[in-house]
Amino acid sequence: MIGFVFPGQGTARVGMGGWLRRDPAGAAVIARADELLPEPVSELCARGPLDKLVNTLHAQPAVTACNLAALAVLRERGVEPDVVAGHSVGEVSALCAAGVLDVDTAVRLVATRSRLMADLPDTGGMSAVMGLPPDRVEELVAEAARPGEPLVVGLENAPDHAVVSGATAAVARLAELAAAAGARKVVPLKVSNAFHSPLMAGALDGWAEAVRATPMSPPRVPVVPNATAEPTTDLPTIVDALIAQLTARVRWTATMHALADVETLVEVGDSKVLTGLLRAVDRRCASLADPAAVRRLRRPEPAA
């Protein structure tokens, strides 16, 4: 049983997708993404500048292009998933792997998502909190929030790794509280706003309209949405979860546990971030950041 997991926006870096652009199957997908996007991403991935690449408007399409290129490489070699999940915007790539979206539709949908999020006023931020259990982070979040300055746990990435998201002042207060509570590390994230928080509500109607207008097919394999962390093949549930994800928590720790029975996990994209998070729950994962990982994956046995 093979599970594909797809990384999200935080994995964007200069040089990403290098070997995928040299593979014919991967290169074709990246070239197609360049054609579809308002601004091509292949040169931005290859050479930067970094500040432009990590901007929400460009980071989400860039990561998605690399994810879908890696997916094409696997498909060309006959490797298909039995279950899929994606981290934040990586969920759109996962839906492509499950057959819900085709490549063109996935790229266009991510372009819309990135534009809607980038167009919001810059009113918030995010910080990763490492070394505290989720229930303690929840307590500190409640203490740091104020009326008109919301703060939530936006992502549960691992048992001792949460990301808080909300008003800038509340995030700053949380950092001080977490340090005093014994957090191993509190790291401000280089993001333009408070993703997966109530401050994304201004983009929610536009996102819901875009998702519901997008042609989709029932999934060929189960999908584990961020918002529920429960495998499903029910298309309406998948659609609702994809819409909710914009403001809802990414339940990645629970998602990793939902994949507990999957023998082989593959991080499909040019990233090792999810591989590292899976290591935190004692799971091994092959990352396509290493092109040799493709050769190590076994093709399915032919039917008797």
DSSP reduced 3-state for 50: helix
Q: Which residues contact 261 (CB under 8 A, 6 or more apart)?
A: 1
- Residue in the block written with tokens 């914009």: 246
| Cα end-to-end span (Å), the chain | 18
Geometric angle at alpha carbon 204, from 16 and 192, rounded to 5°: 45
| Other Cβ atoms within 10 Å of 221 Cβ, number | 19
Catalytic annotation, pick one of 93, 196, 197, 271: 196
Is 42 designated active site? no
Strands 151-158 and 161-167 come out as antiparallel
C-beta neighbour count of 303 within 10 angstroms = 4
The active-site residue, picked from 88, 114, 165, 197, is: 88
Let me know how long the chain is: 304
261, with CB counted inside 10 A (0-12, 13-18, 19+), is exposed
Q: CB count, 10 Å around CB of 112? A: 18
Largest CA distance in the chain: 64
196 labelled catalytic: yes
Which structure tokens are listed for 54? 């990590």
Tell me the C-alpha distance between 223 and 82, whole Å: 9
Alpha helices in 48-101 (DSSP H): 50-53, 56-76, 90-97
Nearest Cα to Cα of residue 110 among 121, 130, 95 = 95
How far are the Cα atoms of 35, 107, 109, 297 from residue 96, in angstroms, in the given order?
18, 10, 11, 20
Residues that are catalytic: 88, 196
